[in-house]
Chain A
Amino acid sequence: MLEKVFETELAVGEHLAVRRNRLEPEGGWKKRITLVSGIHGDELEGQYICYEVVRRIKENSRFLTGCVDVYPALNPMGIDMAHRTMPKIGMDLNRMFPGKEKGSMTDRLTAAIVDSIIGSDICIDLHASDIFVREIPQVRLAEEFAEELLPYARWTNVDMIWMNATATVHESTLAHSLNLMGIPTLVIEMGQGENINRSYGDQVVDGIFRVMQEMGIWQGPVADTREPAVSSDGEVEFIRSDVDGVFLPQAEHDHYVHSGDLIGEVVDPFEGTVKRQIYAKRGGLLFTLRAYPVVYEGDLLARILAQ
């Protein structure tokens, strides 16, 4: 059943509404899972995942024994405009949680989202990478919640669990706010901004059904899921450009590279010259690879999960 969890009047003939689809079995339920996506409007991978989860449940609704809440678009105008932030005010919605009931529009929006998720037994927040780099499916965990979240994360069928205390895990995110409230919340990151990688999507959908099965929400058949690599920051090698130019990748994303392999080149389109050749310092899985060509000094080109 489609429900509005938040609605506010915009200036000209439109409301901003956050909607969820609640799927529940007929005879009542005990456990509840929440899937959210589209906090960042330029990240679309979750659109396929939401579609596919709802589709599979509707197709085999007899197997559903718990409640599934699906929110494809927490930042609906952002998705409509492919803006990462809230259009017009330019604020990152995922830095505005937990919000407050009596406050500005974003305060009320974030508070209403949190309020509507309270009572869930687990929440999965589906992100994509930005348009700049491609990522393999991965769960990112803040160290302070790692112990509690790791068992759930292992079911999600991602390739990697990255215990990352600083780089991408912030306070005032939805996930942090929910974890503080005792609702286990996983952040899954994959693919590329403004794109859908269907095979990554299917992989994560299988993982979501595994989570639902483990939690007694789904009694149907579930695909075999893989055991993700669990890594801490020390095993991740960051490769950044030390010049500006145009990056041309040579290696394949989501493949293994050896130490000394050529990852790509940064070239100068005016002079027709190669400014830098970028080599892997350590062998391992090339789990991040730059997709957007133009770079400044400091831009991320690749990340390798060392073996």
Chain B
Amino acid sequence: MHVEEICRLHSTYREDMRVMGYCFGKGDKSACIVGAMRGNEIQQMYICSQLVRALTELENNGCVSAGKSVLVIPVVNAYSVNTGNRFFGVKDVDINRSFPGNDFGEPVSRLADALLSRIGEYSFGIQLASFYMQGEFVPHVRMMETGYQNTSLANLFGLPYAVVRRPLPIDTATLNYNWQDAETCAFSLYTNCTDRIDENTARQGVAAILRFLTRMGIIRYESHSGYISHVLYESDLSDVYAGRGGIFRGQVKAGEDVRYGMELAQIIDPFDGRIRERITAPTDGIVFFAHTESLVNESDVAYRLIHRLHE
């Protein structure tokens, strides 16, 4: 393993922000894994750190294939992690909405450009990503529908679900989209949380990435075979909205089976404690996403359900 500085940013008031890469193996640029791009992506950073640890051991045991190399960048945005902000700087810029970037542009645009020019040539790109809403996901791997996406490769992570998202204009500035544009086969990996560490799903995330790298012949690693993934289109998920605002008392977790009509959550009046609304399942299905915050606004997405596939 060797450590490489990908890029750095100077501040008059702080130590330089250095974006560090951990490189394993020598040869083709096979796979690149990127962690915290937002300051609250603690689980994402943790997964990368555990991956660096696992790959160090594998490399020492001669388990990185000849002619292949892997790069892991655990943290892109250390400044924001340390100040507890999601986005970068006083200007509050989302680095994951700043790609492909520009060498002559804004500070974050230069950072994105430096990062992409270093990581754009890998065959496979895996980003540990987070969602803008607070909540819990079933661990899954996500691809953008760009025309280049290859969902059969997404199955190789062995996570229960692979989700294909049709990009909106707002997605075109993400790393995932621009990686695909640079002909890297790009995946975003979501576990159940962001700003805290969940050891179980972190382990599952590390195992999924190692499994993928093994199946692509980049490393040799004894892994159990994982799940056979279901491929879903994001547009096929059914969104269940909160009909009222108030205190959110969720009754089901991500991954649970629900039946049509079953109570999923209660919304409680924050003043008198009475139930304002009982949210029920509109269909039989599996909870793909669950709102986890204590409060909810009217029309917030409370749950996203996968319709049960009747065989």
Contacts and interface: CB of A to CB of B under 8 A. Distances in A.
Interface of A: 8-13, 16, 84-85, 89-91, 95-96, 103-105, 108, 130, 132, 170-172, 240, 243-246, 268-270, 292, 294, 296-300
A292 B295 contact: no
A292 B270 CA distance: 41
A172 B168 contact: yes
Given A105-B298, A298-B105, A11 B12 contact: no
B132 A91 contact: yes
Interface stretch (B175-183, B217-225, B244-252): B244-252
B309 interface: no
Interface residues on B, range: 35 or more
B109 interface: yes
Nearest to B243: A9
B270 A245 contact: no
Contact of A297 (B10, B13, B245): B10
* Leading 10 A-B pairs by shortest Cβ distance: A9-B245, A11-B295, A9-B298, A298-B107, A296-B107, A105-B299, A171-B169, A172-B169, A8-B298, A244-B10
Interface string B73-95: 00000000000001101111000
Contact of B106 (A10, A84, A300): A300
B270 A12 contact: yes
A244 B11 contact: yes
Contact of A108 (B13, B244, B299): B299
Contacts of A246: 12
Given A11-B270, A296-B11, 17 more contacts: A8-B245, A9-B297, A11-B245, A12-B295, A84-B92, A89-B132, A90-B132, A103-B299, A104-B241, A104-B300, A105-B298, A105-B300, A108-B299, A170-B169, A172-B169, A244-B12, A268-B12
Given A296-B9, A296-B107, A11 B247 contact: yes
Contact of B245 (A10, A96, A103, A244): A10
Nearest to A11: B295
A130 B270 contact: no
Contacts of A105: 297-300
A33 to B, nearest CB: 27
B110 interface: yes
Contacts, number: 90
A211 to B, nearest CB: 29
Interface in B94-143: 104-110, 132-133
20 contacts: A8-B299, A10-B245, A11-B247, A11-B270, A12-B246, A12-B270, A84-B92, A104-B239, A105-B298, A108-B299, A132-B91, A170-B169, A172-B168, A240-B105, A244-B11, A245-B12, A268-B12, A297-B110, A298-B106, A299-B106
Contacts of B109: 298
A10 B297 contact: yes
A30 to B, nearest CB: 35
Contacts of B90: 292, 294
B260 interface: no
Contacts of B110: 297-298
Nearest to B86: A90
Interface in B266-311: 270-271, 295-301
Nearest to A14: B245
A8 B300 CA distance: 10
Nearest to A89: B132
- For B105, B107, B296, which residue has the most chain A Cβ atoms within 10 angstroms? B107
Contacts of B106: 240, 298-300
A167 to B, nearest CB: 9
